[in-house]
Structure 1
Amino acid sequence: MTTSETTGQSSPSKPVQPQSTTNPYVGILAVFLGAGLATLSSRLLSVGLPDLRGTLGISFDDASWLPTAFNMATMFSGVFIVFLNAFWGPRRILLPAAAIFTTASFLLPFAPNYQVMLALVIVAGLASGTFYSLTMTFVLTNLPKRLIIFGIAAYAADIVFVSNIATLLEGWYIDYLSWRWIFWTAALFTPVMMVCIHFGIPNRTNAEPRPSWLGFTYFSVSLALLYGALDQGQRLDWLNSGTIVGMLVAGLFLLGAAIVRRMVQPNPVLNLKFLNTRNIIILATSIFVFKFMHLAAIVLVPGFLSNIQHYRPLETGHTLAWVALPMFVVVWLVATVIIYANSRPVLALGLTVGAMCCWLWSHVDTSWSGNSFEIVELLLSLGLACTYIGLVSSIVLEGLEAGALTSASNAATFSGFMHLMRIFGGQIGVVALTRFIAVREQFHSNMLGLYVQRGSWLTDHRVRMLAGGVLSRSTDGQEAQQRGATLLGLQVRAQAYTLATSDGFVLIVWVVIVYLLMMLLLRPGKITFNDLRKMQ
């Protein structure tokens, strides 16, 4: 969600048109393709990791670093490129980045070993990180004001649709094509994006004054290291791992270096004072809340189906992907409503609907299957559509009202901050929820274990019942008894994970409630999309 680019960057110098006339609508198609491909590539790599590990014979520890490295590279280039765009413009960034992304994605399946694959994943992540950052910037600076809200709707449809179909697509690749298409999908469609860039995005002259990139480099590397520490922290046991400690120390050190650099030599394209307003901070927090609520559909439900019902990716994909179509329709209806209404109530309504869905899902038990989630999942998709368009619209209007378009430094600062909230805030949400589920699963397992003890008549009775069920498939009564005890342990584990999942849904509800209370502190907005339409 590059709501980070809500205001778009306006350079102090006017763009210089190339010799061939470019069509801005073709350019908009290019950046939409880029954002969708970046989202799809990241999701395919994460969802397809178990299949890659099994096919290529990569260990669990090594395989876990592939999506981490991809996202660390995306984190590095994502925020950095916002400010680079203020100087170079999107065409000079996106064309070479798309070419590099295409090449790396094509070569990845041919990697001779893990080290080469890891290096290519990093290259692909660096290139794709530029796609997110420039999408809404280009849309907002090239669409007529009366069409901006529909540009936001198209972007929402693009990202949400891709996020929902990724699991289904990966499962279909594994079952019917090849694991190689996890990477080749991007290699196939990115050249189309390059053609659209060539015919849709003009060149422009360099902006002045020329910024210093050393501080941005410190800051971007620090974000990448901190991201990696957060992503791998749960697996490596946080501060008990030298790797995590090293990444955290290095990341914090470079963050401090970036701050010192800022104090000693302020960068002309960065205006931090512009962010020091209540509305900007509260609306930026909505990005985190949306990403956190979205985890109900892309983390909790798939995790439950995989761990409890043992669904394969294709089966999970069939459960999740179908809501992409009604959501694709709803975003346009919501966009039309926002023209004549305030975007903030739409945001609040979407969050409320999402919280209600999570509350309903919190009653999950081990008998639930994919069909058990479908009706509420449809309602959640409507809530996510309202939330996404409502928050992006609110941020766009706040940026316009605050004067983000009055200077390149304001635009770049506002865009970079929102983009930082999108990628880094989203990862914090994933880490927090993952850690919460692990802690609550352990808690419930310990609590259930108090009532499942050898020698207890209830436990012995349950083991005998389970042993009777597997006696016909056992060599003798002793083996059946052992298998019955194993099955009881699995049932306890499944129940503990289910209860932890329920707690995760409740946690999301409380996060939404807290944010809705924060929204009461927002100062009233002065402009609406209807005002923009009339001005046009």
Structure 2
Amino acid sequence: MTTSETIETTGQSTPSKSVPPPSTTNPYVGIFAVFLGAGLATLSSRLLSVGLPDLRGALGISFDDASWLPTAFNMATIFSGVFVVFLNAFWGPRRILLPAAATFTAASFLLPFAPNYQVMLALLIVAGLASGTFYSLTMTFVLTNLPKRLIIFGIAAYAADIVFVSNIATLLEGWYVDHLSWHWIFWTAALFTPVMMVCIYFGIPRRINTEPRLNWRGFTYFSLSLALLYGALDQGQRLDWLNSGTIVAMVVAGLFLFGATIVRRMVQPNPEVNLKFLCTRNIIILALSIFVFKFMHLAAIVLVPGFLSNIQHYRPLETGHTLAWVALPMFAVVWLVATIIIHGNSRLVLALGLTVGAVCCWLWSHVDTSWSGSSFEIVELLFSLGLAGAYIGLVSSIVLEALEAGALTSAANAATFSGFMHLMRLFGGQVGVAALTHFIAVREQFHSNMLGLYVQKGSWLTNHRLLMLAGGALPQSTGKQEALQRAATVLGLQVRAQAYTLATSDGFVLIVLVVIVYLLIMLLLEPGKITFKALSKMQ
């Protein structure tokens, strides 16, 4: 989710030597292009993650090797996602997005034809580098090309785009595998990205620019450090964190490059980065809201699908049917939320959306092993509405804060603000995923150990349970001994299922606690002076 593509000055606060020529392009076509790009980037990442088991089976790739495919894609996205924000201040979105979209199309088309694992990994890195530019330039272009009275509806359209795609990805991947082939995990982007390119050509104007005066080395160090640290977080749980030489190497290299970035900043500061601009209470608190929102969103994209897959053994298509139907109500609600924000307070809408999401997570924390997809549906609808409200309230609050803080007064302020928010979206989101994944694993082990204290060999309760299970397995067994062995296996699976269910419940409670803590932090926000109602009246 992608919540902070906020402000930069592509059209309003560019360097003085950059004078755009008269344009015959249609900005609304350009807005459709960047929305399509953001949706395709989200969909491609989700399809790859959801479809990884099917991809592994089709290509005969080991579990360890396959796990690096989405990691490599997202590391590449991280690398280009923040860097391109600053590059955009000089080159403009057209000069970046056209070649990036062409590269993404070619890589996505060629991926199913990769002759081996190494080539597929390389193509995914190329695709990730290209798609990383799509997110980062979406709201930048929208905010600088929409009339002020329509900005809130641009934010609503962006929210509708992202949440709709996020919800249908699982269903779409399951349908592809059952009715077409795994190739469409990649070919979906190859099919629709050329449409995006046509819209870019006719919707985003050219810009005459000087060459960027960026500190290339500093940005390269910083981007590489983020990518390596992201990879360490993504693979940490699987490789047992610092007990793995690979994780240690990635962390050390990432921290070293981050240190090199700081040294470079001290020795040769980049004039297009104004870090002091970020040192305000409101900016920091609102940036934290991106992490909290993405962490809450994990309830729908990690905890619920994980429970249905591990406990009820749902296939992606079945999980998709459970989750995708709420996309349409969410799509309708975002426009109502946008209208409310015009006449209300975006921060209040953000707080209300987070509160609704926390209540839903609390209700889901009562999960047990008998729950199926239908058990989540009613609360899922309420959760999706809260999520939509929180998303629009979040982006709206960040946009208003950018305007009030003076992000449009200089290219350095705009690029710094936008880059920082993208950093929180990309890296902060992965911190949440790693934290929740590790928490679930630790809690599952804890509950398994606690349950094991009551499932002891020789205990009359355990023996009674085994005899009942053995009686059910006896007709399919060659004798009593085999039936008892099967009963012991089934009992072990039942203990594991119960432990995983309790860990999932703990995960929902953790999300509730994080939201409550952030809502208390929101009380420290200084009152805003700009509203969308006032903004809509500006010429």
Give 1:465 shift: 0.2
What residue is the counterpart of 1:319 in the other structure?
A: 322
Structure 2 residue 419 is matched with structure 1 residue 429: no
String of CA shifts for 1:382-417, please: whole Å, max 9, x gaps. 000110000100000000000000100000000000
What residue is the counterpart of 1:345 in the other structure?
A: 348
Change over 3 Å in CA distance of 1:23–1:13 after alignment to 2: farther
What residue is the counterpart of 1:225 in the other structure?
A: 228
> CA separation in 1, counterparts of 2:322 and 2:33?
30
What residue is the counterpart of 1:135 in the other structure?
A: 138
> CA separation in 1, counterparts of 2:211 and 2:401?
26
Structure 2 residue 376 is matched with structure 1 residue 373: yes
Which secondary structure state, in structure 2, belongs to the residue aligned with residue 333 of structure 1? helix
What residue is the counterpart of 1:6 in the other structure?
A: 6
- Counterpart of 2:387 (choices 384, 389, 410) is 384
Which secondary structure state, in structure 2, belongs to the residue aligned with residue 235 of structure 1? coil
Give 1:14 shift: 7.6
Which secondary structure state, in structure 2, belongs to the residue aligned with residue 236 of structure 1? coil
> CA separation in 1, counterparts of 2:133 and 2:6?
15
- Give the paired residue count: 536
What residue is the counterpart of 1:285 in the other structure?
A: 288
Unaligned ranges ≥5, structure 2: none
Give 1:268 shift: 1.1
Give 1:6 shift: 1.4
String of CA shifts for 1:455-474, please: whole Å, max 9, x gaps. 00000000000010111111
> CA separation in 2, counterparts of 1:209 and 1:491?
61
Which secondary structure state, in structure 2, belongs to the residue aligned with residue 254 of structure 1? helix
> CA separation in 2, counterparts of 1:106 and 1:208?
32
> CA separation in 2, counterparts of 1:15 and 1:302?
49
Give 1:16 shift: 4.8
Give 1:230 shift: 0.4
> CA separation in 1, counterparts of 2:524 and 2:99?
44
> CA separation in 1, counterparts of 2:84 and 2:285?
24
Change over 3 Å in CA distance of 1:15–1:195 after alignment to 2: farther
> CA separation in 1, counterparts of 2:277 and 2:330?
35
Give 1:205 shift: 2.1
> CA separation in 1, counterparts of 2:411 and 2:394?
23
> CA separation in 2, counterparts of 1:475 and 1:125?
54
What residue is the counterpart of 2:106 in the other structure?
A: 103
> CA separation in 1, counterparts of 2:4 and 2:494?
45
What residue is the counterpart of 1:451 in the other structure?
A: 454
> CA separation in 2, counterparts of 1:472 and 1:83?
69
Mean Cα deviation higher: 464-473 or 12-21: 12-21
What residue is the counterpart of 1:411 in the other structure?
A: 414
> CA separation in 1, counterparts of 2:20 and 2:276?
33
RMSD between aligned alpha carbons? 1.1
**Identical aligned residues as a percent:** 88
> CA separation in 2, counterparts of 1:20 and 1:327?
36
> CA separation in 2, counterparts of 1:211 and 1:329?
42
Match of 1:271, as an amino acid? N
Structure 2 residue 127 is matched with structure 1 residue 124: yes
Change over 3 Å in CA distance of 1:155–1:207 after alignment to 2: farther
What residue is the counterpart of 1:397 in the other structure?
A: 400
Give 1:210 shift: 1.8
> CA separation in 1, counterparts of 2:5 and 2:507?
30
Match of 2:265, as an amino acid? R
What residue is the counterpart of 2:529 in the other structure?
A: 526
TM-score when normalising by structure 2: 0.98
> CA separation in 2, counterparts of 1:446 and 1:207?
64
Match of 1:459, as an amino acid? T
Unaligned ranges ≥5, structure 1: none
Give 1:206 shift: 1.9
> CA separation in 2, counterparts of 1:31 and 1:269?
24
What residue is the counterpart of 1:179 in the other structure?
A: 182
What residue is the counterpart of 2:71 in the other structure?
A: 68
Equivalent pair of 2:3/2:391 in contact (CA under 8 Å): no
What residue is the counterpart of 2:48 in the other structure?
A: 45
Q: Where do 1:134-173 residues align within 5 Å?
A: 134-173=137-176
Mean Cα deviation higher: 15-24 or 434-443: 15-24
What residue is the counterpart of 2:27 in the other structure?
A: 24
Structure 2 residue 442 is matched with structure 1 residue 439: yes
Structure 2 residue 450 is matched with structure 1 residue 467: no
String of CA shifts for 1:346-400, please: whole Å, max 9, x gaps. 0000000000000000000000000000000000000001100001000000000
> CA separation in 2, counterparts of 1:319 and 1:447?
32
Equivalent pair of 1:86/1:207 in contact (CA under 8 Å): no
Give 1:4 shift: 3.4
String of CA shifts for 1:292-346, please: whole Å, max 9, x gaps. 0000000000000000000000000000000000000000000000000010110
Give 1:209 shift: 6.9
> CA separation in 2, counterparts of 1:159 and 1:273?
31
> CA separation in 1, counterparts of 2:167 and 2:295?
16
Which secondary structure state, in structure 2, belongs to the residue aligned with residue 367 of structure 1? coil
TM-score when normalising by structure 1: 0.99
What residue is the counterpart of 1:36 in the other structure?
A: 39
String of CA shifts for 1:44-69, please: whole Å, max 9, x gaps. 00000000000000000000000000
What residue is the counterpart of 2:493 in the other structure?
A: 490
Which secondary structure state, in structure 2, belongs to the residue aligned with residue 4 of structure 1? coil
String of CA shifts for 1:168-224, please: whole Å, max 9, x gaps. 000000000000000000000000000000000011122577222110000000000
> CA separation in 2, counterparts of 1:20 and 1:145?
20
Give 1:5 shift: 3.1
Equivalent pair of 2:104/2:127 in contact (CA under 8 Å): yes
> CA separation in 1, counterparts of 2:214 and 2:424?
23
- Counterpart of 2:513 (choices 507, 510, 513) is 510
Q: Where do 1:69-84 residues align within 5 Å?
A: 69-84=72-87
What residue is the counterpart of 1:477 in the other structure?
A: 480
Change over 3 Å in CA distance of 1:207–1:272 after alignment to 2: farther
What residue is the counterpart of 1:297 in the other structure?
A: 300
> CA separation in 2, counterparts of 1:246 and 1:260?
21
Equivalent pair of 2:17/2:210 in contact (CA under 8 Å): no
Change over 3 Å in CA distance of 1:209–1:479 after alignment to 2: closer
Change over 3 Å in CA distance of 1:264–1:6 after alignment to 2: same
Which secondary structure state, in structure 1, belongs to the residue aligned with residue 286 of structure 2? helix
